[in-house]
A = this chain, B = another copy of it.
Amino acid sequence: MTEDPRPAGSPTLEDVARAAGVSRATVSRVVNGVRNVDPVIQESVRQAVAATGYTPNRAARSLVTRRTDAIALVVSGAGDDPTADDETGGGHRAGSTGGAHDADEPDGGAGSSFTAQVFADPFFGRVVTGVVNYLRPRGIYPVLMFAETSRARDEVVAYLRQGSADGALVVSTHADDPLPALITDAGLPAVLYARPSRPTRISYVDLAHQDGARLAAEHLLARGCRRIATITGPLDVPAGQDRLAGFRDTMARAGQPYLPLAEGRFTQESGEAAMARLLAEHPDLDGVFAANDLMAVGACHVLREHGRRVPEDVAVVGFDDSSAAVACRPPLTTVRQPVEEMAAEMARLLLDRLAGSDRAVTSVIFEPSLVVRGSA
């Protein structure tokens, strides 16, 4: 007959309590620092914890507290969703992207999965950075999720509903993303990055895109550019619309109501294509505002290939101040979007919501600033 029937498994509160000669409740109180506990007992409990190598079991704790201290970081949008019927722009040729729409593709492979597309933009790395840096000191780690199909969206909601995370941080890449509504309908706490295109009772952080575009316009004008064009973002998302509106507005006010434009999709390739189109139609242009840095980089490439010097012949201004801006030759003059701070604020809003039970909807709008480098 052995005395110890539990050789396996990690030590529990019970074990620590026995070692310290106190009750489970007392150990729990010491571990969680709740209520007053006699300093002497506190010390002996701490020693028992150290001696046994105790670590609280998170599942057990969650079960009773109904909190997980985990939050989901969801990148949402319409990838190549076969069920998507809310497309706005061109390209009705659904499924034309080479059958990559199978969510159960055997391996991690394929370069053009939604996940891969997402990380191709330095933007998401910055969001993650901001979120992680805010959450980490608080002992919280984000669970990374992607929701580009309706099935994936359901899985996200299910995940949240089964209490795997306390709330969600949602970054949408697409307009009319149904996820925010799904989450709030389920009564789950969430905060968005960027204003949802249809009004929803949900907190979000966003940038004053129009102000940013204004800064870009004023800079190009002040530089003396007179034949200015713009490469817009996708015009079915608020960021794309607002940057164009702000730019066009300032240009019009400066007496330049006609603004050549070409729509891009926030990718470098789309920026290249757009620049080529603009150059074909307006060979004499001397200034370009691209609605993000990636497209600006593409524009620079195409300009150089067409023998234009940047910024001597054509000045280029980007948007975001991402890593692509400094990596570019010449380095991009760009409108800074403080993504990391915004992401941190988004995390803060969610944590506030989880802590207090104030279900108030707050939105925080950040102001952009101009970063002048070599390209304009």
Contacts and interface: CB of A to CB of B under 8 A. Distances in A.
Interface residue tally on A, bucketed by range: 35 or more
A129 interface: yes
A144 interface: yes
A341 B107 contact: yes
Interface in A101-131: 103-105, 107-111, 113, 115-116, 118-120, 122, 124-126, 128-131
A161 B55 CA distance: 7
Interface in A125-172: 125-126, 128-134, 136-137, 139, 141-146, 152, 155, 158-159, 161-164
Contact of A116 (B118, B152, B162, B340): B340
A18 to B, nearest CB: 20
A56 interface: yes
B59 A347 contact: no
A6 interface: no
Q: Helix, strand, loop or mixed for chain A's interface?
A: helix
A168 to B, nearest CB: 12
Contact of A129 (B116, B125, B141): B116
B329 A109 contact: no
Interface in A39-65: 55-60, 62-63
A129 B107 contact: no
A88 interface: no
Contact of A134 (B57, B108, B305): B108
A192 interface: no
Contacts of A60: 59, 63
A141 B143 contact: yes
Interface in A70-111: 70, 72-73, 103-105, 107-111
Nearest to A305: B329
A63 B55 contact: no
- Chain copies in the assembled complex: 2
B115 A132 contact: yes
Contacts of A58: 59, 62, 162-164
A304 interface: yes
A126 B115 CA distance: 9
Contacts of A343: 108
A109 B130 CA distance: 6
Contacts of A155: 139
Nearest to A103: B137
Contact of A161 (B10, B104, B110): B10
A268 interface: yes
B329 A59 contact: no
A327 interface: yes
A169 to B, nearest CB: 12
26 contacts: A55-B161, A58-B163, A73-B144, A103-B137, A107-B133, A107-B340, A108-B130, A108-B344, A108-B345, A108-B347, A109-B133, A109-B344, A115-B129, A119-B129, A120-B122, A120-B323, A132-B146, A136-B146, A141-B143, A141-B144, A141-B159, A142-B143, A143-B143, A143-B144, A301-B329, A305-B329
Interface of A: 10, 55-60, 62-63, 68, 70, 72-73, 103-105, 107-111, 113, 115-116, 118-120, 122, 124-126, 128-134, 136-137, 139, 141-146, 152, 155, 158-159, 161-164, 268, 297, 301, 304-305, 323, 327, 329, 340-341, 343-345, 347
